[in-house]
Each structure stands twice: as C-alpha cells, then as structure tokens.
Chain A
Amino acid sequence: MIDELAHYFSSPSNREVVLESLGQHIYLALVPLVLGALLAVPAGRLAQRAPKLRGVLLGSMNVLYTIPSLALFVIIPAVIGTGATAAINVVIALTIYNAALLVRPVMEGLDSVPEHVVTAATALGYRPRRRFFAVEVPLALPVLSTSLRVASVSNVSLVSVGALIGIGGLGRLFTDGFQRDYLTPILIGVVLTLALAMVGDLLIVALRRLCTPWQRASAGGR
C-alpha cells in the first residue's frame, strides 16, 4: 500500500490533482457553512419571536433537508438558470442544507438565553439590535456550535457527490479512480475527506472556546 501511495504521489500531475481537489473541496464546504449560518440567524430569530410562523418555517426547513443532494445539485441550475456544471450550484445547494439545518438550533440557542440576562442588558441601555448581537447571539453560541459541527461534517462528505456533475473537490478522485479501475486515488480521497471533516470539526470547537471565554471558567465542557 505504501508503495502504491509513493508511486501515485511520485507523479507531479497526480500531486497537482490532489492539491487542487483539496482546495476546491475546502472552498465548497466552507462557503456554504458561513452563508448558511448567516441566513439561519435572522430566520431562527423570526421563528423564536413569531410562534405562528415557527411551525411553517421549521416544517419547510425539514422538507428542504429531505431532498437528496444529487437531486438538489441538478434542480438548482434549472431553477435559477446557472450553467449545469457551475460550482455555484454546489455552493447554493449546500447553503440551503446548512440554513435548513441551522434554523432550529439558532432558535433553540436564542431561547436558551435566560430572560433575566436579556432584561439586564435592556436595563443597561442596550438597544434591541445591539443587545441581539452583543448579548443574545454570543450566549446562544454553545447550543449553536453543536449543530454547526454537524453541518460542517456533513458538508465535507456531501461535496464529493458534486463530482457526478463535474464539480466535487476530492470527489473527483473517486470518479477518476473508478473510471481507471485504480483504487489508490479513491483511498486517498476517502482518507483526505475524513481528515478534512475532522480538522473542520476541531477548528469549530476551538473557535467556540475562543468565542465563549466565560464557559471555560465554569464548566469547561465541550
């Protein structure tokens, strides 16, 4: 196995393909995560504040999350009229998934902020907008970060499906390997995908610890 790996990596063009795919994979997994989170915050706030909308909003998010990724990758260009093999299709599809996945945790995170903390912030003169970003969102982070981790891990594994429509980061190694009946690139792809998911997960945990210093002092739990 080591020999085969060495042989595979001895070719400059193979090295280039792996690096390029890895870069594309990181881009395709990261951008939707950020965009999805940005979309989920106002939607989650709406769900938290408007109980009448909550059922409809969460229900439709559940349905969106039900649609298989390959189907979504193909439906999106048809709906918005982008080219069938544009990277933007994968970005939009995964953004939809991430937003759909994160609305409920945002809502629950904001709900978990104690009422007296919000009242105290108001009493200190925080206006609603500033109170929301400076007090409520940071306090919701611990609840939110668990779901952010789920979203990032599933992004990393879903991106590779995009290889079937021509844009899939490390997924390219799977289709290449399959067409050439060559196991090594597939194994490299699987291992790199798992490693990427793990690194992303660790980064989110580290980022959360950095953003919620008050938690380290008390519980120190993950």
Chain B
Amino acid sequence: MIINELVAWLSDPEHWLSSTGLLAQTGRHLYYCVLSVLCASIIAMPIGLWIGHTGRGGATVVVLSNSLRALPTLGLVTLFVLVAGIGEAPTLAGLVILAIPAVLSGAYAGVQSVPAEVRDAAKGMGMTPMQQLWQVELPNAAPLLFGGVRTAMLQVVATASVAAYVGLGGLGSILLEGIKTYDYGQTLAAALCIALLAVLLDVLLSRLSRAVTPRGIRSGPPAAATSTG
C-alpha cells in the first residue's frame, strides 16, 4: 500500500532533517518562490500601475499575459538551461520571467477597475497625478493587484518544482529523485509538501490582500487566483 510507504518514509527523521531533507528543501523552495515573485513585482508593478494610470499600452498587457499562458513551463526551463548553462541564476531568471505577466496584468487590471467617478473626484479635489495613484488608485486596486501576485506565486511554486529537473533544488528535487528511484513514499511526501506550500502561500496572500484593502470596498469575495503551472 502506497500510504504505508509514505508513512514509512516520513517516519525516518533523516528524511526531514538532513541537508537535502524535507525541511531544508521546503525552505529552499520557499526562498526561490518569494525571491522570484518579489523580483517580478519590483519590475512589473510600477509598469502595470503606470499603464493602468495612463491607459496606454493596455492591449499589449492583455495579449502578453494571455499568450504567455500557453508557454510550456518544462520547455522553457530546459531551453533556458541549455542556452545559459546549468545553474540557479538562469533558472531563477526563468521563474521571474514567468511571474512577470501575472503581476503586470493584475496591477494593470486593478488600476483599470477603479471607477471613473472615483478618479474624477480625486482630480476634482486637486490631487496631483502621483497623489491620485498612491492615495486613490492603489488602495482601490489592491484586490486585483494581489490577485495577480497570487497567480504569479502559484505559477512559481509549480514551476520551481518542475525546474528541479534541470538542477534547481527545492521540493521538486526530492519528488523527481523519488520518481527516478521508484520510491513512491518519497515522491508522495514531496508532492504533498509542494501542494501544501502552494495552498498555504495562497491563503497567506489572500489574507494580506484583505488586510490592505480599504474596508469600504472589501464586500466582494476575494479575487480568485487563476492558472497554475
């Protein structure tokens, strides 16, 4: 029974505590994901906010994010590594590139979704464009903005596990090693850990999104994240 194998694998403390064990690799996985999404946010958020604010280039954002959905993750990472060489940097760059469209379209859609009356009111009160963006558009955009970040995070958690195939550490490496050695207990333990990490990060981000959203516009359900990898 495969569940017995899982329990047997999990009950060995070595599998948890060694330098390539579950805890260390979960930490590594988390580190890759947070780092990539952070980098993607730093790059894409200002651009998305600006495009949303000015209303120019919106069509490009939509086309870009839609067509990137079709890019096969595994093909992308194998391609990157063959071109740029094995190592963490090219793989992490791949994760950042994958995360950018989701963050970008979330930021853009967020600012776009702010009702025109609200923008006009802000302008009418004499706010400068910067004040409008920071004090009015950004708080109102928060739910969709975080929706983009959540989508990006899910894609990156999934892609980081796939990227273990080209040598990136993290939970994917435990999973793939389990597949290679026909150790189903190990494979299943890693798969469950990846799934748990993805769900936890998603819940955490949705809480954060709720916390920073102004109370007045909190009524609707949290924007659903879409598309894993």
* B79 & A187 in contact (Cβ 8 Å cutoff): yes
A51-65 interface bits toward B, Cβ cutoff 8 Å, 1 = contact, 0 = none: 000000010001101
B73-98 interface bits toward A, Cβ cutoff 8 Å, 1 = contact, 0 = none: 11110110111000000000000000
- A: residues with CB less than 8 A from B are 58, 62-63, 65-72, 74-75, 77-78, 81, 84, 97, 101, 104, 150, 153-154, 156-158, 160-161, 163-165, 168, 170-171, 173-175, 177-178, 181, 183, 186-187, 189-190, 193-194, 197-198
Q: How many chain B residues have a CB neighbour from A under 8 Å?
A: 47
The one of B67, B82, B176, B195 that contacts A177, using a Cβ cutoff of 8 Å: B82
- Give the residues in chain A near B70, CB-CB below 8 Å: 153-154, 156-157, 193-194, 197-198
Kindly provide the distance from the CB of B144 to the nearest chain A CB, expressed in whole angstroms: 16
Given A164-B162, A194-B70, output 7 extra A-B contacts at Cβ < 8 Å: A71-B195, A101-B226, A153-B66, A174-B72, A174-B74, A181-B82, A189-B72
Kindly state the separation between the CA atoms of A132 and B81 in the bound complex, as whole angstroms. 52
* A68 & B228 in contact (Cβ 8 Å cutoff): yes
Chain B residues 178-229 with CB under 8 Å of chain A are: 179, 182, 184, 187-188, 190-192, 194-195, 198-199, 202, 224-229
* A194 & B228 in contact (Cβ 8 Å cutoff): no
- Give the residues in chain B near A164, CB-CB below 8 Å: 74, 162, 165, 176, 179
- Give the residues in chain B near A101, CB-CB below 8 Å: 226
Once A66-B198, A164-B74, A174-B74 are accepted as A-B contacts, the answer to whether A190 and B79 lie under 8 Å apart by CB is yes
* B72 & A171 in contact (Cβ 8 Å cutoff): yes
The one of B66, B158, B184 that contacts A68, using a Cβ cutoff of 8 Å: B158
Kindly state the separation between the CA atoms of A78 and B166 in the bound complex, as whole angstroms. 25
- Give the residues in chain A near B81, CB-CB below 8 Å: 178
Once A72-B195, A154-B227, A178-B165 are accepted as A-B contacts, the answer to whether A171 and B6 lie under 8 Å apart by CB is no
- Give the residues in chain B near A62, CB-CB below 8 Å: 224-225
* B72 & A74 in contact (Cβ 8 Å cutoff): no
Kindly provide the distance from the CB of A56 to the nearest chain B CB, expressed in whole angstroms: 13
* B74 & A74 in contact (Cβ 8 Å cutoff): no
* A178 & B82 in contact (Cβ 8 Å cutoff): yes
Kindly provide the distance from the CB of B179 to the nearest chain A CB, expressed in whole angstroms: 6
Kindly provide the distance from the CB of B219 to the nearest chain A CB, expressed in whole angstroms: 15
* B71 & A104 in contact (Cβ 8 Å cutoff): no
Interface membership of B102, Cβ < 8 A: no
The one of A69, A156, A163 that contacts B228, using a Cβ cutoff of 8 Å: A69
